[in-house]
């Protein structure tokens, strides 16, 4: 007990360690060499991994008891009590291990990758920035998985969204091909906003929890939820469905998945770490974490599972029609996330988490290998005879390029896409290590025995076959497509003849990149051992049952396993028929074009982006433009204020008051007095003719009148 | 002498010392004038911190009272009455902080008539402090109107091309509302035979139907100042035309005078009317949130974009205030500060780039983060704070407000908060749009015309305090909530 | 004794003749003389009434007679001023036609 308490006090270092790395690089980054920057960042992430291991150990010696470490008060107001409290249990430590473990490997890989990437993109100063963002991501992700309340989870939830935004938009001034463009920054913005839509759901769910259960702390919310006697009570259904919106945003499920494929604009380590292995699984973690609430709302569970299953199939079909090596993997990720969400939706939390872990291994492996392929092509491109030579690697490559060289390189860049599989082919000869790593990742993803994906996917399928037949079929078909598009990718990238100069001259990546890949490959190969479907080998299930309660541990079902393996092999065979038997030639169109409209749909992602543009984004732009221009400015500002209010006032003051009341009323009367006096005197003055005698006559007449009056009165 | 040495009196009127000194200075010695103004405001800020040390957080009542009989006429008793409590302490500190920051931001931006500028600025500070500290309705009204004059000149003399229009509009709008408030104040003074706010609250007993009229009269003044939809049409003009420092103070402090007015006067004085009005105010606030956010997104002028975002942000504050529960009101008070920090920072930063480029058209910018990395990073933090990213200050305010409003009995329906939460998405839309168009993407036209320099130390120093507070409030808001909470609990006893 | 009525009638006749003279004649000298006539008509009336009052009341009462001296003195002064004016007018206008002396008309 004493030991575990000492360990638990390390919990804040899950966050502080990466933050320290971030700060060191932020403050001293300019003075440190690239190696030092990368090492600091990797060590920071590694430290978080060590802490995670220790915490997992503490959980195990405590037999899974939940441990908490309160760091500080956060928001205390009224009945709302939120703290910075770390929650250490088997579920959170599992996530910590995955995040910091895979994260550290990717940090190391990135040391090599970014070294070249910043040079191909001609901005070496940005190297440090990358690792700052990467550490920020680890810190945020750690907050996400270690929080003890929904709000602390939310802090991490948005924090990873921010890191994702920063890293997708890392090359913010260009598109994926390095041309000056808004494309990358658009992708970053899209990701953030799509995530925010999910966050909106999360927030509403949090409000409902608070006013329904009086707290946002996990255990208190769960206690509140389970104290509701009714199954599917409106409150829990509402909470779970709003959470589902959050899940859809973060874990790229229908309808919010659209940001993830675009997120491939980020450098490849980012795609591997954030958009495949860790961040996008946060939604799965959220559902698993909220298991006690979902348990009281089977209707919502079914919806979650259905969302996952449909996404799995839908994204898999799109992956078939993609040409970009990373886009295929991106849709594959969406699809695999669908598997996980379906699993946790069905209540198969162990299966979901299991797949989350194995997927983190093999998808990170695939992405990083894809990154290696892309860099290999870049290298080949710069070495190809027709292209301007980049200074050789090593010492010389630190020499800054002259402006003219830059211009030439940039020009050259505009015509070549190193991520397009149509530019590849035959890479197994030029990049053998990457090739074999890629094969391992593919086998794991397609679920070939005995690779990790086989076990985890099988467990999901088995669970689905027992409880939800519809979902089982959706997932099985998705698995078929998975094997097909991976097969297609393998044949297109590594087999046949080189379809471009660059592919012919491609070069293998350095050790700093391939070594982490080897580790991931080993994990992808044997990761299934975490939870074998045999009595006594349900290690993960047992471990998670500390947190999630007793979880069903299913034995191996040979029918399910057999069907899925058979389908996978069939799919690979079909892909060989199409792409392997007669390799694509340069400029040849895709053989699947024969499918016509269906393939056009797949190729164009079923026009979902276009649909969103037409239905949501453009109307929103128009509405806001309308509100701003017409309603606010022309109507409210110009018309109501400048015309109505000012106009009325002016009318009142100039026309009504000044002109009518003042000028025509008061002024006119005063003037009339004047003119009247004038008129009278005009006439009266005629009497005064200057002749004394007429005055005298007047006097006399007066006298006569007065006398007459006196006499005759 | 005893009168002068009251902490709050000192705090309020200390800037006058600076005014006096500057009056006797040669208007050509600009730097000396700047330094005098700077040190005056810094000392004032020091005084506000001193007040903070004298302030007892756990005491919900008015503290550090400075109370003197001032004018006695016709049975009315008008007092010179300054005091501070949890509702106002943060705003006093915010005023104290933002004024020196604004002055620092004018160091190179204001070159002509520095002397007049600084005098007006210091006078403005007197008015703002007075507004937040006055506890006598009459005195409050004087300070309230007094702030108009320096601001009018700040916009009208140092503003952009349409400054006269904007200044007059600003003045008249505020004036129009104030007149109604003045009538209500006179009615109240006549009714209670005192203008002292605590006494009037203690007396209570204003008939419900009259409460509604008085509520509306006060609300007219405050709602224009906030500004609440649909009375916001003066705001974009004033913001766009005002000099940077003016915008910072306008957004940071002057707008808060409106929300503070609701908090200080409407809610405690007219409880029945407040309950009746709460759903309507919530409705207007919700419309304001959505409307402001949507309109922001369509702006081509970055300053205007931020100006409209204020409409949205202050909608949140109003929603929180009229949630009439602890979370909502405390969140609203904190959000007033947050808005001052993040919008203040945004205006400062926009001003800094404007000084170099002399344009605020979004479309000519682009790719600045590459050329000005420090500037870009600071802008990013401010922008994220403005859009309510957890871990930064904006989130703490918005979250507590929405949480409070969601379950508010006074508002009566979670729909208002639910729809307002959409504003969180829309905030991301317009803030990211702004950030992208200025800092991301390929280099814009402006980078070809100007040799843009990154922020210098003075400029970094100007925004640094704001950044620190953004993180502080975002990560550890407890000290701030501790200042607010007791007074809020007391305020809400009747509800 | 001649009754006062006769004096009054004479006075009235003289006055009327004088008044008509003032109104009709164009020569300022004649007008002066007519004015003198009117003044003397008044003088006659004064003296007549004064005497009549003295007799009827039986008291010595010379007010009327004294007034006559005043009138004579005023008439003398008037003639002095008037003739001087006429001379001045003649100097500027070269004639003394009364019809041209209307520069005071409104």
> How is A167-212 classified by DSSP, letter by letter?
HHTTTTTB-TTS-B-SHHHHHHHHHHHHHHHHHHHHHHHHHHHHHH
pLDDT at A393: 42
pLDDT-above-90 percentage for chain A: 30
- State how far the Cα of B267 lies from the Cα of A271, in Å rounded to an integer: 52
Instruction: Tell me whether residue B76 is exposed, middle or buried, using C-beta atoms within 10 angstroms of its C-beta: 0 to 12, 13 to 18, 19 or more.
Output: middle
Q: Look-up: residue for tokens 């393939």?
A: A599
Token couple for A505: 């001259």
Instruction: Establish if B295 touches chain A: CB-CB under 8 angstroms.
Output: yes
Backbone angles phi, psi at A31, to 5 degrees: -95, -10
pLDDT band at A384 (very low <50, low <70, confident <90, very high): low
Q: How does pLDDT run across A546-585, given as a tens digit for each residue?
A: 888 766 667 777 888 888 888 888 988 888 888 877 777 7
Q: Are A268 and A279 in contact (CB under 8 A)?
A: no
* SS3 call for A48: helix
Do chains B and C touch by CB distance (3+ pairs < 8 Å)? no
Are the beta carbons of A696 and C106 separated by less than 8 Å? Answer: no
Binding partners of C (≥3 Cβ pairs within 8 A): A
pLDDT band at A413 (very low <50, low <70, confident <90, very high): very low
Chain A residues touching residue C19 (CB < 8 angstroms): 696, 700
Vertex B361, ends B359 and B366: CA angle to 5°? 100
ipTM above 0.85, yes or no: yes
Q: Considering CB atoms only, which of B295, B370, B485 is closest to A627?
A: B295
Count of CB pairs separated by less than 8 Å, A with C: 34
Instruction: Establish if A10 touches chain B: CB-CB under 8 angstroms.
Output: no
pLDDT at A382: 78
Nearest CA of chain A to the CA of C17: how many Å?
13
pLDDT at A385: 55
* pLDDT above 70: residue A1: no
Q: Are B438 and B372 in contact (CB under 8 A)?
A: no
Q: What is the mean pLDDT of the segment spanning B86-104?
A: 93
User: Which of A682, A685, A692 should be substituted to probe chain C, the one whose Cβ sees the most C Cβ atoms within 10 Å?
Assistant: A692
Q: Are B328 and B265 in contact (CB under 8 A)?
A: no
User: Which of C34, C39, C99, C106 should be substituted to probe chain A, the one whose Cβ sees the most A Cβ atoms within 10 Å?
Assistant: C106
Are the beta carbons of C106 and A692 separated by less than 8 Å? Answer: no
Q: How does pLDDT run across B453-471, given as a tens digit for each residue?
A: 888 899 999 999 999 999 9
Are the beta carbons of A181 and B442 separated by less than 8 Å? Answer: yes
Binding partners of B (≥3 Cβ pairs within 8 A): A
Q: What is the mean pLDDT of the segment spanning A226-242?
A: 86
pLDDT band at A391 (very low <50, low <70, confident <90, very high): very low
Are the beta carbons of B442 and A72 separated by less than 8 Å? Answer: no
> What's the sign of the alpha-carbon dihedral A688, A690, A691, A695?
positive
The helices-and-strands tally (H runs, E runs) of chain A is 31, 2
- State how far the Cα of A83 lies from the Cα of A70, in Å rounded to an integer: 7
Which 3-state string (H, E, C) describes A128-159? HHHHHHHHHHHHHHHHHHHECEHHHHHHHHHH
Domains of chain C, each with CATH number or no CATH: 4-100 (1.10.287.3510)
Are the beta carbons of A173 and B402 separated by less than 8 Å? Answer: no
pLDDT band at B224 (very low <50, low <70, confident <90, very high): very high
Binding partners of A (≥3 Cβ pairs within 8 A): B, C
Nearest CA of chain C to the CA of A671: how many Å?
23
Q: How does pLDDT run across B32-42, given as a tens digit for each residue?
A: 999 999 999 99
Nearest CA of chain A to the CA of C82: how many Å?
13
For A507-571, give the DSSP string. -PPPHHHHHHHHHHHHHHHHGGGGG-SSTT--HHHHHHHHHH-S---PPP-HHHHHHHHHHHHHH
Are the beta carbons of B421 and A200 separated by less than 8 Å? Answer: yes
- State how far the Cα of A711 lies from the Cα of A704, in Å rounded to an integer: 10
pLDDT at A552: 66
Q: What is the mean pLDDT of the segment spanning B164-186?
A: 89
Instruction: Establish if A683 touches chain C: CB-CB under 8 angstroms.
Output: no
- State how far the Cα of B62 lies from the Cα of C34, in Å rounded to an integer: 103
Dihedral over alpha carbons C70, C76, C82, C84 (to 10 degrees): -140
Backbone angles phi, psi at B72, to 5 degrees: -115, 120
Chain-centroid distance, C-alpha A504: 36
User: Which of B294, B305, B438 should be substituted to probe chain A, the one whose Cβ sees the most A Cβ atoms within 10 Å?
Assistant: B294
Q: Are B64 and B12 in contact (CB under 8 A)?
A: no
Are the beta carbons of A691 and C98 separated by less than 8 Å? Answer: yes
- State how far the Cα of B299 lies from the Cα of B289, in Å rounded to an integer: 16
Residue A104 DSSP label: H
- Going by C-beta distance under 8 Å and a sequence separation of 6 or more, which residues neighbour residue B311? B227, B229, B232, B235, B288, B291, B292, B295
Q: Considering CB atoms only, which of A684, A688, A693 is closest to C23?
A: A693
Backbone angles phi, psi at C58, to 5 degrees: 80, 10
Nearest CA of chain B to the CA of A640: how many Å?
9
Are the beta carbons of A78 and B327 separated by less than 8 Å? Answer: yes
Are the beta carbons of A696 and C23 separated by less than 8 Å? Answer: yes
Nearest to A151 by CA among B408, B402, B419, B321: B402
Are the beta carbons of B414 and A207 separated by less than 8 Å? Answer: yes
pLDDT band at A376 (very low <50, low <70, confident <90, very high): confident
Chain C residues touching residue A691 (CB < 8 angstroms): 98-99, 101-102, 105
CA distances from C48 to A598, B132, B143, C3, C11 (A): 148, 101, 93, 9, 9
Instruction: Establish if A211 touches chain B: CB-CB under 8 angstroms.
Output: yes
Token couple for A47: 């430290």
pLDDT band at A390 (very low <50, low <70, confident <90, very high): very low
Are the beta carbons of A693 and C106 separated by less than 8 Å? Answer: no
Are the beta carbons of C23 and A697 separated by less than 8 Å? Answer: yes
Q: Are A263 and A187 in contact (CB under 8 A)?
A: yes
- State how far the Cα of A417 lies from the Cα of A413, in Å rounded to an integer: 8
Chain A residues touching residue B295 (CB < 8 angstroms): 624, 627-628, 631-632
Are the beta carbons of C105 and A689 separated by less than 8 Å? Answer: yes
Q: Considering CB atoms only, which of B294, B389, B443 is closest to A162?
A: B389
Contacts with A, C 39-98, CB within 8 Å:
98
Q: What is the mean pLDDT of the segment spanning A32-37?
A: 88
* Domain segments of chain B as ranges: 279-495
Instruction: Establish if B172 touches chain A: CB-CB under 8 angstroms.
Output: no
Q: How does pLDDT run across B239-279, given as a tens digit for each residue?
A: 999 999 999 999 999 999 999 999 999 999 999 999 999 99
Instruction: Establish if A691 touches chain C: CB-CB under 8 angstroms.
Output: yes
Instruction: Tell me whether residue A642 is exposed, middle or buried, using C-beta atoms within 10 angstroms of its C-beta: 0 to 12, 13 to 18, 19 or more.
Output: middle
pLDDT at B338: 94
Residue of chain A minimizing CA distance to C23: A693
Are the beta carbons of A625 and B298 separated by less than 8 Å? Answer: yes
Chain A residues touching residue C27 (CB < 8 angstroms): none
Contacts with C, A 516-575, CB within 8 Å:
none
* SS3 call for A71: strand
Chain A residues touching residue B373 (CB < 8 angstroms): 129
pLDDT at B151: 92
pLDDT at B215: 93
For B311-322, give the DSSP string. HHHHHHHHHHHT
Q: How does pLDDT run across A497-517, given as a tens digit for each residue?
A: 888 888 788 888 888 888 888
Chain A residues touching residue B326 (CB < 8 angstroms): 77-80
Do chains C and A touch by CB distance (3+ pairs < 8 Å)? yes
Are the beta carbons of A77 and B400 separated by less than 8 Å? Answer: yes
- State how far the Cα of B151 lies from the Cα of B134, in Å rounded to an integer: 20
pLDDT band at B308 (very low <50, low <70, confident <90, very high): very high
Token couple for A149: 């309340």
Chain C residues touching residue A686 (CB < 8 angstroms): 106
pLDDT-above-70 percentage for chain B: 100
pLDDT at A374: 87
Kindly give the residue spans of alpha helices, DSSP state H, lying in A214-257: 218-227, 234-250
Task: Say which range, A447-456, A652-661, B320-329, has the weakest mean pLDDT.
Answer: A652-661
Token couple for C4: 């006062």
Are the beta carbons of B327 and A80 separated by less than 8 Å? Answer: yes
A82 DSSP β-pair partners: A75
- State how far the Cα of B35 lies from the Cα of B233, in Å rounded to an integer: 36
Are the beta carbons of C98 and A685 separated by less than 8 Å? Answer: no
CA within 13 Å, CB half, B456? 10
Q: How does pLDDT run across A142-170, given as a tens digit for each residue?
A: 999 999 999 999 999 999 999 999 999 99
Q: What does pTM read for this prediction? A: 0.84
């Amino acid at each position: 007990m004493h030991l575990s308490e000492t360990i638990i006090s390390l919990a804040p270092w899950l966050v502080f360690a990466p933050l320290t790395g971030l700060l060191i690089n932020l403050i001293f980054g300019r003075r440190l060499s690239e190696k030092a920057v990368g090492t600091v960042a990797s060590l920071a992430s590694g430290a978080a991994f060590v802490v995670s291991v220790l915490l997992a150990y503490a959980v195990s010696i405590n037999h899974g008891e939940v441990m908490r470490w309160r760091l500080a008060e956060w928001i205390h107001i009224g009945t709302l009590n939120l703290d910075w409290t770390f929650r250490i249990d088997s579920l959170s430590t599992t996530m910590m291990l995955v995040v910091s473990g895979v994260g550290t490997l990717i940090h190391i890989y990135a040391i090599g990758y970014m070294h070249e990437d910043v040079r191909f993109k001609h901005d070496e100063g940005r190297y440090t920035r990358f690792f700052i963002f990467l550490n920020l991501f680890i810190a945020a992700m750690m907050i996400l998985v270690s929080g003890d309340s929904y709000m602390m989870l939310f802090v991490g939830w948005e924090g990873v969204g921010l890191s994702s935004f920063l890293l997708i938009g890392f090359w913010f001034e260009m598109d994926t091909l390095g041309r000056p463009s808004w494309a990358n920054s658009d992708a970053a913005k899209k990701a953030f906003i799509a995530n925010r839509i999910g966050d909106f759901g999360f927030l509403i769910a949090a409000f409902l929890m608070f006013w329904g259960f009086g707290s946002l702390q996990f255990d208190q919310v769960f206690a509140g939820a389970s104290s509701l006697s009714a199954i599917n009570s409106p409150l829990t259904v509402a909470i779970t469905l709003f959470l589902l919106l959050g899940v859809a945003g973060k874990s790229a499920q229908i309808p919010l998945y659209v940001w993830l494929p675009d997120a491939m604009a980020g450098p490849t380590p980012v795609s591997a770490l954030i958009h495949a292995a860790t961040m996008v699984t946060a939604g799965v973690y959220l559902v698993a974490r909220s298991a006690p609430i979902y348990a009281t709302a089977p209707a919502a569970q079914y919806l979650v599972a259905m969302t996952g299953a449909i996404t799995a199939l839908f994204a898999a079909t799109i992956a078939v029609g993609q040409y970009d090596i990373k886009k295929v993997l991106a849709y594959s990720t969406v699809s695999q996330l669908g598997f996980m969400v379906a699993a946790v939706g069905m209540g198969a939390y162990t299966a979901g988490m299991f797949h989350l872990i194995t997927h983190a291994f093999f998808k990170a492996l695939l992405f990083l290998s894809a990154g290696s392929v892309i860099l290999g092509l870049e290298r080949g491109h710069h070495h190809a005879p027709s292209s301007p030579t980049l200074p050789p690697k090593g010492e010389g490559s630190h020499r800054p390029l002259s402006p003219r060289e830059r211009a030439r390189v940039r020009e050259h860049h505009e015509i070549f896409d190193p991520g397009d599989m149509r530019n590849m082919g035959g890479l197994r000869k030029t990049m053998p290590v990457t090739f074999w790593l890629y094969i391992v990742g593919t086998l794991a993803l397609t679920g070939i025995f005995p690779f990790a994906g086989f076990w985890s996917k099988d467990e999901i399928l088995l669970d689905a076959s027992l409880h939800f037949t519809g979902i089982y079929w959706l997932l099985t078909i998705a698995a078929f497509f998975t094997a097909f598009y991976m097969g297609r990718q393998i044949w297109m990238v590594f087999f046949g003849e080189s379809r471009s100069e660059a592919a012919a001259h491609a070069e293998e990546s350095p050790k700093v990149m391939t070594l982490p890949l080897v580790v991931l490959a080993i994990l992808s190969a044997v990761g299934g051992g975490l939870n074998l479907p045999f009595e006594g080998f349900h290690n993960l299930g047992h471990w998670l049952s500390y947190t999630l309660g007793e979880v069903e541990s299913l034995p191996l079902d040979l029918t399910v396993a057999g069907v899925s393996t058979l389908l996978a092999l069939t799919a690979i065979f079909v892909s060989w028929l199409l792409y392997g038997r007669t390799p694509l030639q340069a400029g040849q169109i895709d053989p699947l074009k024969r499918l016509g409209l269906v393939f056009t749909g797949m190729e164009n992602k079923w026009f979902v982006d276009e649909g969103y543009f037409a239905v949501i984004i453009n109307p929103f732009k128009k509405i806001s433009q309308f509100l701003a221009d017409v309603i606010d400015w022309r109507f409210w500002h110009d018309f109501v204020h400048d015309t109505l209010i000012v106009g009325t006032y002016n009318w009142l003051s100039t026309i009504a008051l000044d002109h009518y009341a003042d000028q025509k009323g008061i002024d006119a009367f005063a003037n009339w007095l004047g003119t009247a006096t004038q008129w009278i005197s005009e006439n009266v003055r005629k009497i005064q003719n200057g002749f004394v005698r007429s005055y005298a006559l007047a006097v006399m007449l007066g006298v006569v009148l007065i006398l007459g009056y006196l006499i005759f009165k | 002498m005893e009168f002068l040495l009251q902490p709050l009196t000192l705090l309020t009127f200390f800037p006058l010392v600076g005014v006096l000194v500057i009056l006797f200075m040669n208007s050509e010695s600009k730097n000396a004038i700047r330094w005098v103004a700077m040190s005056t405001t810094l000392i004032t800020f020091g005084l506000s911190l001193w007040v903070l040390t004298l302030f007892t957080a756990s005491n919900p009542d008015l503290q550090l009272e400075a109370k003197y009989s001032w004018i006695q006429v016709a049975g009315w008793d008008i007092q010179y009455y300054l005091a501070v409590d949890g509702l106002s302490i943060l705003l006093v500190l915010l005023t104290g902080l933002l004024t020196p920051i604004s002055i620092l931001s004018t160091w190179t931006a204001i070159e002509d008539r520095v002397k007049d500028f600084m005098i007006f600025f210091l006078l403005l500070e007197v008015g703002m402090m007075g507004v937040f500290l006055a506890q006598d309705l009459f005195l409050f009204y004087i300070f309230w109107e007094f702030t108009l004059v320096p601001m009018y000149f700040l916009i009208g003399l140092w503003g952009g091309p349409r400054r006269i229009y904007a200044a007059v509009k600003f003045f008249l709008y505020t004036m129009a509302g104030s007149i109604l408030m003045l009538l209500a104040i006179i009615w109240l003074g006549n009714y209670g035979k005192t203008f002292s706010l605590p006494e009037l609250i203690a007396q209570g007993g204003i008939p419900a139907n009259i409460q509604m009229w008085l509520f509306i009269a006060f609300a007219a003044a405050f709602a224009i100042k906030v500004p609440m939809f649909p009375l916001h049409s003066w705001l974009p003009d004033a913001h766009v035309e005002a000099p940077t420092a003016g915008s910072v103070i306008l957004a940071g402090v002057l707008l808060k005078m409106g929300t503070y007015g609701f908090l200080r006067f409407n809610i405690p004085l007219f409880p029945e009317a407040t309950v009746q009005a709460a759903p309507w105010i919530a409705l207007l606030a919700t419309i304001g949130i959505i409307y402001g956010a949507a309109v922001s997104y369509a702006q081509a002028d970055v300053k205007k974009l931020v100006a409209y975002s204020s409409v949205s942000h202050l909608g949140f504050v109003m929603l929180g205030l009229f949630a009439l529960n602890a979370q909502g009101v405390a969140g609203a008070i904190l959000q007033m500060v947050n808005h001052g920090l993040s919008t203040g920072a945004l205006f400062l930063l926009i001003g800094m780039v404007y000084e170099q480029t002399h344009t605020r058209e979004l479309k000519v910018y682009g790719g600045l983060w590459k050329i000005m990395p420090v500037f870009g990073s600071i802008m990013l933090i401010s922008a994220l704070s403005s859009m309510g990213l957890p871990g930064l200050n904006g989130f703490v305010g918005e979250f507590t407000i929405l949480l409070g409003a969601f379950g508010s009995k006074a508002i009566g329906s979670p729909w208002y908060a639910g729809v307002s939460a959409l504003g969180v998405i829309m905030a991301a839309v317009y803030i990211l749009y702004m950030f992208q168009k200025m800092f991301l993407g390929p280099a814009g036209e402006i980078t070809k015309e100007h040799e843009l320099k990154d922020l210098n130390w003075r400029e970094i120093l100007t925004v640094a305090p704001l950044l620190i507070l953004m993180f502080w409030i975002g990560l550890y808001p407890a000290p701030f909530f501790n200042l607010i909470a007791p007074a809020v609990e007391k305020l809400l006893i009747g509800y | 004794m001649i009754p006062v009525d006769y004096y009054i009638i004479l006075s009235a006749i003289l006055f009327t003749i004088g008044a008509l003279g003032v109104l009709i004649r164009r020569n300022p000298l004649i007008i002066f003389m007519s004015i003198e006539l009117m003044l003397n008509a008044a003088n006659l009336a004064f003296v007549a009434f004064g005497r009549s009052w003295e007799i009827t009341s039986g008291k010595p009462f010379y007010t009327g007679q004294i007034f006559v001296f005043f009138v004579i003195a005023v008439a003398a002064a008037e003639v002095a001023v008037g003739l001087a004016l006429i001379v001045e007018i003649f100097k500027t206008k070269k004639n003394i036609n009364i019809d041209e002396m209307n520069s005071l008309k409104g």
